[in-house]
Amino acid sequence: MQMGPQGKIHEALQKWAAEYGSVFKYFLGRRPCIVITDPDLVRQICVKRFIDYHDRSLPALEMGAACDNHFQNSGILFARGKYWLGIRTACEPLFHSAALASYAPMMNQAIDELLGKMQAAAVSGEGICVSELLKAMSMDVIGTSAFGVEFGAQKEGSGSTLVKAAEAMFTPMGGLPFWAAILSFAVPDLRRVWYRLALLLNPKMINQTVADRRYLWGASQALLDSARKQATEAGATAGGQGPAAANGLRSSGEEGAKVAVESVAFQQAYKTYVAQVPPETSVVSRLKDAVNKQTGKQLSDLDICAQLFTFLLAGYETTSLALSYALYLLAQHPEHQRRIQQASGARGPAEVDALGQRELVYEDLAKLPYTEAAFQESMRLYPPVSSLIALVREAGHGGVDLDLTGGSRRSLATPAAGPTSVFIPGELLPLGCSDNCRVMFNIWTLHRDPRYWEAPEEFRPARFLPDEAASHHPGAYFPFGLGPRRCVGWRFALEEGVLCLARIFQRFELRLDAERHTGPLDLRSSVTLAPPKGIWLKVHGREA
């Protein structure tokens, strides 16, 4: 089987699913990967048999001792087993309704700046690259609403060091040369060897990647230190975690951590962000008091910084992509823009226009069903994460008990099984597995499968209006994943997406910049699915 053009993995998987069926196996090096495009099986694995498939396999980002692997691997996205569950339960309350309502004003603040740039484009008549603007905006949203700090990504534009550093993590191979990334994924036991080899052969690229990560790390630690400082000054208990984050990491015994803490990039980011004190409502302030329900203890400094680093990465690229695709589709469908706005003459209940020109609040989201439906339908056609890989739990290797909230407690490893067998029910995956088998959920293909979607290539937001949404196969649409490991920030993303779309259409009409978009959208899939040439639109004020 040929993977096809580099970076078009989503297309190759769709082609293979058509050729080999909804369950097939391929090898990456010596490692088998079972690709699933069957919605019943997806649900069984992600929901019913989650206990056997709870860990994720992300493209290897391990950089060797000189970098911050320990820090990165402690992030919820990469975390495994019991450690993951403890962190997950500590993070869930950050995204409950009361917390979400408190983020809305700060989201509005970042959206205001975006609207200012769109207004300028409406006046000049020039096309604008909205995908770039939205990247900076969602970085600012994470900054203000999650951390209570102004990152200033929109002010500095795409030249912002923070945006650049975060973006580098989403380059097709996570800042590694192609060959090194593939080898790290296929033969992870030799990751450090691949790293050293890459450093020898591509020193400039690797050093830049290391510097970017240290910058993000510096920013995360500064945010935590600021939150602690503020809590101490306010006379509150600062969490009893001992020394400030940097010291905590220095004493963690990680050689890589020591090197990174002393790096120029770390110090630069630390200085930039330490001056800003996040308010008590921010994610960082909530995390410093959060409790790991598995251990009953508060999170350590390392745990907290790792989550901050993860939220920065997981929350900004995905949301900006989802919004970019929504605008790309809506710009080609004035009829759906009108339906979102309910401009005079349109039928049905008023939507955005009923809210006037005011800033929107969390409670307004319930009044914007069509706007939300358009956002959801965009993620069907262009899921920001086009496939997901779960690890199959090996028997005899690292089996752990997971006490899932509301679920049963059981061992992931079957004691009776031999050390090299895999605990995987034969009836579930008939192809069989060997050690370290992976299961890939083929999101892109399922979202466009004509067996589950009528006219799948068409943009029809009404599919996601409450009446229709219930009729979809629950395993055929999962842009945020499914089951207990589903995206922890999904409500946050929906809130940001719907608020942003509604506020844009309060003021503007959008059209595709036809000179830039002459054919189908060019897409590249790596960690995320991105349009490398950007999304270009023309903006018109609604009064015009």
Q: What letter does residue 355 receive in the DSSP assignment?
A: G
Q: Which residue, 318 or 371, is less far from ligand HEM as judged by CB?
A: 318
Q: Which residue, 16 or 147, is less far from ligand HEM as judged by CB?
A: 147
Q: Which residue, 143 or 489, is less far from ligand HEM as judged by CB?
A: 489
Question: Shortest distance, CB of residue 57 to ligand HEM, whole angstroms?
Answer: 10
Q: Please pick, from the candidates 493, 499, 512, 523, the single residue that binds ligand HEM as defined by CB under 6 A.
A: 493
- State phi, psi for 28 to the nearest 5 degrees: -115, 105
370-398 b/e (C-beta count within 10 Å ≥ 16 → b): bbbbbbbbbbbbbbbbbbbbbbbbbbbee
Q: Which residue, 110 or 146, is less far from ligand HEM as judged by CB?
A: 146
Question: Shortest distance, CB of residue 19 to ligand HEM, whole angstroms?
Answer: 25
For 174, residues 6+ apart whose C-beta sits below 8 A from its C-beta are 59, 60, 61, 181, 209, 526, 527
- Closest alpha carbon to 300 in 74, 85, 96, 146: 74
Q: Which residue, 449 or 509, is less far from ligand HEM as judged by CB?
A: 449
Q: Which residue, 76 or 265, is less far from ligand HEM as judged by CB?
A: 76
Question: Shortest distance, CB of residue 196 to ligand HEM, whole angstroms?
Answer: 29
Cα gap 257→196, rounded to integer Å: 17
Give the pair of three-digit tokens for residue 515.
Answer: 């000179």
Q: Which 68-87 residues touch ligand HEM, going by CB under 6 A?
A: 76-77
CA angle at 383 for the pair 335 and 454, rounded to the nearest 5°: 55
Question: Shortest distance, CB of residue 38 to ligand HEM, whole angstroms?
Answer: 17
Is 129 annotated as contributing to ligand binding?
no
- State phi, psi for 374 to the nearest 5 degrees: -65, -40
Question: Shortest distance, CB of residue 496 to ligand HEM, whole angstroms?
Answer: 7
Size of the site for ligand HEM (CB under 6 A): 25
On whether the CB atoms of residues 499 and 360 are closer than 8 A, the answer is yes
Q: Which helix (H) or strand (E) holds 192?
A: helix 191-201
Q: Which 379-398 residues touch ligand HEM, going by CB under 6 A?
A: 384-385, 388
Residue whose beta carbon is closest to ligand HEM: 489
For 357, residues 6+ apart whose C-beta sits below 8 A from its C-beta are 506, 507
Question: Shortest distance, CB of residue 518 to ligand HEM, whole angstroms?
Answer: 27
Q: Which residue, 480 or 508, is less far from ligand HEM as judged by CB?
A: 480
Q: Which residue, 81 or 177, is less far from ligand HEM as judged by CB?
A: 81
Q: Which 331-370 residues touch ligand HEM, going by CB under 6 A?
A: none
Q: Which 429-488 residues touch ligand HEM, going by CB under 6 A?
A: 479-481, 485-488
CA 407 to chain CA mean position, Å: 26
CA distances from 241 to 66, 281, 348 (A): 26, 20, 56
CA distances from 87 to 84, 90, 93, 163, 213 (A): 5, 5, 11, 26, 21
Question: Shortest distance, CB of residue 524 to ligand HEM, whole angstroms?
Answer: 16
Cα gap 33→209, rounded to integer Å: 28
Q: Which 16-75 residues touch ligand HEM, going by CB under 6 A?
A: 56
On whether the CB atoms of residues 304 and 287 are closer than 8 A, the answer is yes
Question: Shortest distance, CB of residue 320 to ligand HEM, whole angstroms?
Answer: 8
| Residue 283-322 contact track with ligand HEM, rule CB under 6 A, x = bound | ---------------------------xx--xx--xx--x
Instruction: Summarize the annotated binding site as residue ranges.
Output: 487
Instruction: Summarize the annotated binding site for heme as residue ranges.
Output: 487
Task: Please give the residue ranges that form the binding site for ligand HEM (CB under 6 A).
Answer: 56, 76-77, 88, 146, 310-311, 314-315, 318-319, 322, 384-385, 388, 479-481, 485-489, 492-493
